[in-house]
Chain A
Amino acid sequence: MHHSKLWRNLIAALIITIAAGYIFSMWSATNKVNPAAPSFAGNGGSCLTCHNQTTPGVVKQYGESKHAVNKVACIDCHRGESDGKLTVNHYDNNIVLRPTPQNCSRCHPTQATQFDHSRHSAAAWYAQTGATSFTDEQLKRYGLSATGKYNDLYHMESPEITKMGCEVCHSIGKPNADGTFGDCAKCHAGHKFSLAQVRKPEICGSCHLGPDHPMKEIYDESIHGTFYANNGAQWDWEAPAGTLSSKNFDAPTCAICHMASFGSAPGTHDVGQRLSWKLAPAQAEKRVDWETHRLNMQTVCLECHSQTSIKTLYDNADKVVLAGNENIKTAQTIIKNLKDDGLIPMAPFSSSIDYKGFEIWHHEGRRMRFGAFMNGPDYVQWHGIYEQLIDLTELKERDADLRGKAAPTAPTTTTQDTSKSTKIEGR
């Protein structure tokens, strides 16, 4: 006869269950992510109680985001250390109002590090302020010159203007109180943090446009932009990182050429890794390791184009940059001599000649450079070299006027010599 084991089994099960439950609860307690704010833990927590009313748009966007899907809670991004410089007390919880790259780096360390190394980071802020808003340690860390000059226009215009102008774009590299530089949300618009949004050209075009760096306009003119305009609605914008190729994108966007993994090209948040030139300064110059950077970019191009056509584009674009450099050098020499000879004031932007010289490199020079590399012929020619030549001619005339000399004239001729032209069809 078998003795009843009901009570044995029941009691044993209860004891083991309670013991196991206790061990598990101890384990989770010692690994608690946010011990100070239980009310904020988890999705659908008490953040939503208020923010559903106060910021319903933010809640809606967050709800549609992959962060919500992957159970990234509000506090995971907005957590602030009790002694943090950006930390504020919000209903007895320590939070950061606007997360910095340090917050994002908790889950995205690689991307944050790559961004930190790029010219979207501190260098973007340096471009307007120069060395004045950096410590020596920061200058050294980011490889920025201690004698680097600030942008004269930025310092001439009042803060009320620059806050709404220059700083809106250049704040992609703004200094944060926690010691980091940059703002991930400049590109990755919160709170949806959509892959599609960051891959489309509109986000880059919100800053990279206008008379001095019309990348958006050049892209729209280019064949890549034409493909985007016509077929972009069918592209796989939500494809997981690492799966983008010519199979799901007929043509590249800004992000694909400059950052994303595409085909066999690995992705990076360092936007300079695929650029062989520094095209922003007055005199464009090759970057350090420019050959490697060029190969990085050409790996993307090879997904759709032949090696021959890629090389031809690069060779021709290099020549356009060098030609532009020559004109800019000429203009800057004229202006320097005028200042040295006391014919125009030394102070920057104190004469219309200063503005003209500025535009020769800052506007027209850059337009032709970007146009050459990004398949924007109108920006190479009519918005680029043509306007540059007009301004250079006017500069020379003003120089001659100021010096009391007759303006230089071109040799008289009634016919054009086309014997050296390569523009005859077929050549």
Chain B
Amino acid sequence: MKSSMPGPFSYHWLTRKPIQVPIDKTRLILLYLSINYLIVFLDVLIAHALNRFFPYYEWIPIIFSPIAALSAILLLIKPKPGFTKAFNLVTNIAGVVIGILGFGFHLQAASAGNVVSFSGLTSGNPVFAPLAFVALGSIGVLTTLDDHPNLKTYGLTQKTRWLLLTTSFWFLATALVAYFDHARTGFTNSFTWIPVYMGIFAAIILLLQAYSHPEHGLSILLGITMILSVIVGLLGFAFHLSTDLAGRGSIQWSRIFYQAPGLVPLLFCDLGIWGVLIFLDPIKEPPL
């Protein structure tokens, strides 16, 4: 990656001429990855603070997230093979492992007597939330790996395809988080179905895109889907805040953090941005 040589990127399916983006796609992803890790750090810190970080392994994602953000920033600044690349690779592999472990711990906490039931899954512990670390870690690993712009399948580089699949997985995980969280309320408010449908739809769109040649129509479809995701996220944020503030004259921060958590719907906004970002398919990008 050479910051002095801006590479032309795709969206040439949207416009006739390639859109010049003054920063390499990889560095753009690394920047957004570091921001995501910091947001996740904040989110998990608030969530695990509810139980005073007990048991002790609730500290793991909190300690890990800033380290992962740092590794992404280091690679962003010094994008050469060597320590920063290896550090970023190892850190993000650890992130995937932490995500799987976290999913296991959450599932264990939601089960009663080794039985996972529907009511257990809706118990308030977001069982599928740790999969965000799997997604972020996967994105980080993929970004670290070399790409071969000349080797394309369905007209897309391998990196781009895998990034599409990873983001699809993350959309699906987020849809499941929304489903089980809202199931607790019995879906009495029909709006609570929106994020479930949105997450599944976006996941399918991204999945199918990974197996489709990019073209004008599909680019528009993907772009609209991601924009819809952002809108759903903003709407969800507004609805959650409205619910948390209802019925009392003061702000109860514990309700904003934990009851209808304000930050969670913004994940759809985040995923919408990810979807647009990872679909940037470099016409020409030198390896790391």
Please list the residues of chain A having a beta carbon within 8 angstroms of any beta carbon in chain B.
2, 4-6, 8-10, 12-14, 16-17, 20-21, 24-25, 27-28, 31-34, 38-39, 41-45, 48, 52, 59-60, 63-64, 68-71, 238-240, 242-243
Bound Cα distance from A68 to B155, whole angstroms: 51
Bound Cα distance from A41 to B243, whole angstroms: 13
- CB <8 Å contact, B124 and A12: no
Bound Cα distance from A13 to B224, whole angstroms: 14
- CB <8 Å contact, A9 and B212: yes
- CB <8 Å contact, A28 and B246: no
- CB <8 Å contact, A71 and B124: yes
Q: Give the residues in chain B near A42, CB-CB below 8 Å.
A: 184-186, 188-189
- B218 in complex: contacting residue of A6, A14, A64, A242, CB < 8 Å: A6
> Which residue of chain B has its CB nearest to the CB of A45?
B188
Per-residue CB proximity of B249-288 to A under 8 Å, as 1/0? 0001011001110000000000000000000000000000
B204 CB, nearest partner CB in chain A, Å: 4
Bound Cα distance from A6 to B124, whole angstroms: 39
- CB <8 Å contact, A21 and B197: yes
How many A-B residue pairs lie within 8 Å, measured between CB atoms?
A: 114
Bound Cα distance from A64 to B155, whole angstroms: 55
Bound Cα distance from A243 to B55, whole angstroms: 9
- CB <8 Å contact, A21 and B118: no
A29 CB, nearest partner CB in chain B, Å: 9
Per-residue CB proximity of B83-118 to A under 8 Å, as 1/0? 000000000000000000000000000000000001
29 A-B pairs within 8 Å (CB atoms) are namely A2-B215, A4-B218, A5-B212, A13-B201, A13-B205, A16-B204, A17-B197, A24-B179, A27-B118, A28-B118, A28-B183, A31-B183, A32-B186, A33-B186, A38-B188, A42-B184, A42-B185, A42-B188, A44-B243, A44-B246, A44-B247, A48-B247, A64-B252, A64-B254, A69-B50, A70-B123, A71-B184, A71-B259, A240-B52
Q: Give the residues in chain A near B16, CB-CB below 8 Å.
A: none
Bound Cα distance from A172 to B172, whole angstroms: 49
- A13 in complex: contacting residue of B52, B118, B204, B243, CB < 8 Å: B204
Bound Cα distance from A353 to B221, whole angstroms: 96
| Closest CB pairs A-B (n = 4) | A42-B185, A6-B217, A31-B118, A41-B186
- CB <8 Å contact, A63 and B218: no
Bound Cα distance from A71 to B50, whole angstroms: 13
- CB <8 Å contact, B205 and A4: no
B228 CB, nearest partner CB in chain A, Å: 12
- B187 in complex: contacting residue of A12, A25, A48, A240, CB < 8 Å: A25
A287 CB, nearest partner CB in chain B, Å: 32
Asked if B213 is an interface residue, CB under 8 A from chain A, the answer is yes
Asked if B44 is an interface residue, CB under 8 A from chain A, the answer is no
A20 CB, nearest partner CB in chain B, Å: 5
- CB <8 Å contact, B186 and A69: no
- B221 in complex: contacting residue of A9, A60, A70, A243, CB < 8 Å: A9
- CB <8 Å contact, B258 and A69: yes
Per-residue CB proximity of B210-250 to A under 8 Å, as 1/0? 00110101100100000000000000000000010011100
> Which residue of chain B has its CB nearest to the CB of A42?
B185
- CB <8 Å contact, A21 and B200: yes
Asked if B193 is an interface residue, CB under 8 A from chain A, the answer is yes
Bound Cα distance from A74 to B183, whole angstroms: 16
Bound Cα distance from A5 to B258, whole angstroms: 42
B185 CB, nearest partner CB in chain A, Å: 3
- A16 in complex: contacting residue of B119, B183, B189, B200, CB < 8 Å: B200
Bound Cα distance from A171 to B252, whole angstroms: 34
- CB <8 Å contact, B185 and A41: yes
Bound Cα distance from A78 to B217, whole angstroms: 54
Q: Give the residues in chain A near B215, CB-CB below 8 Å.
A: 2, 4-6
Bound Cα distance from A45 to B196, whole angstroms: 21
- CB <8 Å contact, B187 and A28: yes
A247 CB, nearest partner CB in chain B, Å: 13
Q: Give the residues in chain B near A32, CB-CB below 8 Å.
A: 186
Bound Cα distance from A13 to B258, whole angstroms: 32
- CB <8 Å contact, B255 and A68: yes
> Which residue of chain B has its CB nearest to the CB of A38?
B188
> Which residue of chain B has its CB nearest to the CB of A52?
B247
Given A68-B255, A69-B259, A243-B52, A12-B118 contact (CB < 8 Å): no
Q: Give the residues in chain A near B118, CB-CB below 8 Å.
A: 27-28, 31
Q: Give the residues in chain B near A17, CB-CB below 8 Å.
A: 197, 200-201, 204
Q: Give the residues in chain B near A60, CB-CB below 8 Å.
A: 248
The listed residue with most A CB atoms (<10 A of its CB), out of B179, B201, B247, is B247
Bound Cα distance from A17 to B168, whole angstroms: 13
A3 CB, nearest partner CB in chain B, Å: 9
Asked if B57 is an interface residue, CB under 8 A from chain A, the answer is no
Q: Give the residues in chain A near B28, CB-CB below 8 Å.
A: none
> Which residue of chain B has its CB nearest to the CB of A21?
B197
Q: Give the residues in chain B near A43, CB-CB below 8 Å.
A: 185, 243, 259-260
- CB <8 Å contact, A4 and B217: yes
- CB <8 Å contact, A63 and B208: no
Given A21-B197, A33-B186, A64-B252, A6-B221 contact (CB < 8 Å): yes
Q: Give the residues in chain B near A45, CB-CB below 8 Å.
A: 188
Asked if B4 is an interface residue, CB under 8 A from chain A, the answer is no
Q: Give the residues in chain B near A34, CB-CB below 8 Å.
A: 186
- B200 in complex: contacting residue of A4, A20, A68, A243, CB < 8 Å: A20
A42 CB, nearest partner CB in chain B, Å: 3
> Which residue of chain A has its CB nearest to the CB of B204?
A13
Q: Give the residues in chain B near A25, CB-CB below 8 Å.
A: 187, 193
Bound Cα distance from A31 to B204, whole angstroms: 27
Bound Cα distance from A25 to B192, whole angstroms: 12
Known contacts A28-B183, A33-B119, A242-B54; 4 additional CB pairs below 8 A are: A38-B186, A42-B189, A59-B247, A69-B255
Q: Give the residues in chain B near A33, CB-CB below 8 Å.
A: 119, 186
